[in-house]
Homo-oligomer: A and B are copies of this chain.
Amino acid sequence: MSLIVKKFGGSSVATPEKIMAVAKRVLAEKAADDKVVVVVSAMGDTTDELIALAKGVSDNPYGNAREMDRLLSTGEQVTIALLAMAFNKLGQQAISFTGLQAGFKASTAHTKGKILNINPKRVLTELEKGKIVVVAGFQGINADGDVVTLGRGGSDTSAVALAGALKADACEIFTDVDGIYSADPRIVKNAKKMKEITYNEMLELARLGAGVMQPRSVEMGKRYGIPIHVRSTFTETTGTFIREEYTVEEKEFIIRGVTHDDNVTKIAILGVPDQPGIAYKIFSALAKANIDVDMIVQSIRNSDQNVIDMVFTVTKTDLHQVKAIIDDIGKEMETLGVIVDDNVAKVSAVGAGMLGNPGIAANMFGALAKAGINIEVISTSEISISCLIQADKVTEAVNAIHQCFFKD
């Protein structure tokens, strides 16, 4: 007997036929005494259609976030009702629950709520009766008793968090890829699918650009110690397990993945007076505006002048806001000017194994040098190394680094 939470996204339940197919697959994989909870998203393009309706009555629907949550949360309610019916049609007792009924308490922040806690009393009761429980993802109830949606990747987070609250044996995330790869297969031909990866490494990969999983759902898995199995809706093959520790000793795993991120802009403030507190002045101003600064480098401009250059990166989406703030500071500090370069990208190598291996960074830089790719900025974490390069060199760079760490 095992208790399993399975999550199927919108494309997996886009039509009644696909919903029936999901029901059949769940039953095919279910052992007689297994307890199964299925978390689902809204059908296919439902969310877009609902947003279109909202735009018909308001030019800024999200300006009324509470009503937007009410509107968007109907999508999952439709899916859970249909999937429960599909199970019944196949002779399997099933019951559907909204986020409220499944016990999801969320923060009040409409359209970007966070799960505060889950009390899955009714879920457990129905599982005990041998029913499959179908739960609406992406939603919870706030202190006012109003429905709140959980924002991007919300259904994954719902599934992993519920698996945690139920102390499930595993949480399976069904998606359109069949696992986590050592690099984006669309870019790196011989990218390798991983059997397993640790929460920390997956979090770092997600943070540095790997799109398969949202960091929040991985954090949930880490917090509750729930193994997450990322696998394909369309094939039977085993995918990738995200867990705390490797189950097999895989010495050669120094580097686990190579990622890239195009949503980057480089900003250089030239000729900043070299005084204590300057960095604080600049970055506290950005922090106040809630802007996420990533790579930071401070460089001596030239020995005889007492000025430095301050170089850092932000997301392209924040650029407009950042420019304004920097220009103000610039005037105030009489710098030599600001250079903005958004023709850049970040390539990163991630792997817990690099901790004990000082040579990794050198190898990565060497691989890029051999490919004739110039490194503009370098930053490192305990388990990752990132290099800022010219945007048009991304494919080359990712392949060069991948080649260097993953010999065929």
Contacts from A to B (Cβ < 8 Å): 15-17, 19-20, 23, 50, 53-59, 61, 63-64, 66-68, 70-71, 73-74, 77-78, 80-86, 88-89, 95-96, 98, 101, 122, 145-146
Among A54, A56, A81, residue most surrounded by chain B Cβ atoms (within 10 Å): A81
User: What would be 22 A-B contacts, judged by CB atoms less than 8 Å apart?
Assistant: A16-B56, A19-B57, A20-B57, A53-B78, A53-B82, A54-B81, A54-B85, A56-B82, A57-B82, A58-B85, A58-B86, A58-B89, A61-B85, A64-B85, A67-B81, A67-B84, A68-B81, A68-B85, A70-B81, A70-B84, A101-B145, A101-B146
- The distance in angstroms between the C-alpha atoms of A355 and B98, with both chains bound, is 54
Beyond the given A23-B57, A67-B85, could you list 11 further A-B residue pairs with CB under 8 A, ordered by the A residue number? Answer: A15-B56, A16-B55, A16-B56, A54-B81, A57-B82, A57-B86, A64-B85, A66-B95, A70-B96, A74-B77, A101-B146
- The distance in angstroms between the C-alpha atoms of A68 and B84, with both chains bound, is 10
User: What residues on B are CB-neighbors of A56 within 8 Å?
Assistant: 15-17, 19-20, 82
Smallest CB separation, A31 vs chain B (Å): 24
Closest to A56 in B: B16
User: Interface on chain A toward B: helix, strand, loop, or mixed SS?
Assistant: helix
CB pair A67–B96 under 8 Å, yes or no, is yes
| Nearest 3 CB-CB pairings of A with B | A16-B56, A71-B81, A70-B81
User: What residues on B are CB-neighbors of A82 within 8 Å?
Assistant: 53-54, 56-57, 67, 71
- The distance in angstroms between the C-alpha atoms of A15 and B56, with both chains bound, is 8
User: What residues on B are CB-neighbors of A88 within 8 Å?
Assistant: 58, 63-64, 67
- Counted per complex, copies of this chain come to 2
Which of B23, B59, B64 has a CB less than 8 Å from the CB of A84?
B64
- The distance in angstroms between the C-alpha atoms of A82 and B71, with both chains bound, is 8
User: What residues on B are CB-neighbors of A15 within 8 Å?
Assistant: 56
User: What residues on B are CB-neighbors of A80 within 8 Å?
Assistant: 70
Q: Assuming A16-B56, A53-B82, is B66 touching A70 (CB within 8 A)? A: no
Closest to A66 in B: B95
User: What residues on B are CB-neighbors of A50 within 8 Å?
Assistant: 78
User: What residues on B are CB-neighbors of A20 within 8 Å?
Assistant: 56-57
User: What residues on B are CB-neighbors of A85 within 8 Å?
Assistant: 54, 57-58, 61, 64, 67-68
CB pair A57–B96 under 8 Å, yes or no, is no
User: What residues on B are CB-neighbors of A57 within 8 Å?
Assistant: 16, 19-20, 23, 82-83, 85-86, 89
Closest to A68 in B: B81
Smallest CB separation, A308 vs chain B (Å): 50
Q: Assuming A56-B16, A64-B88, is B74 touching A74 (CB within 8 A)? A: yes
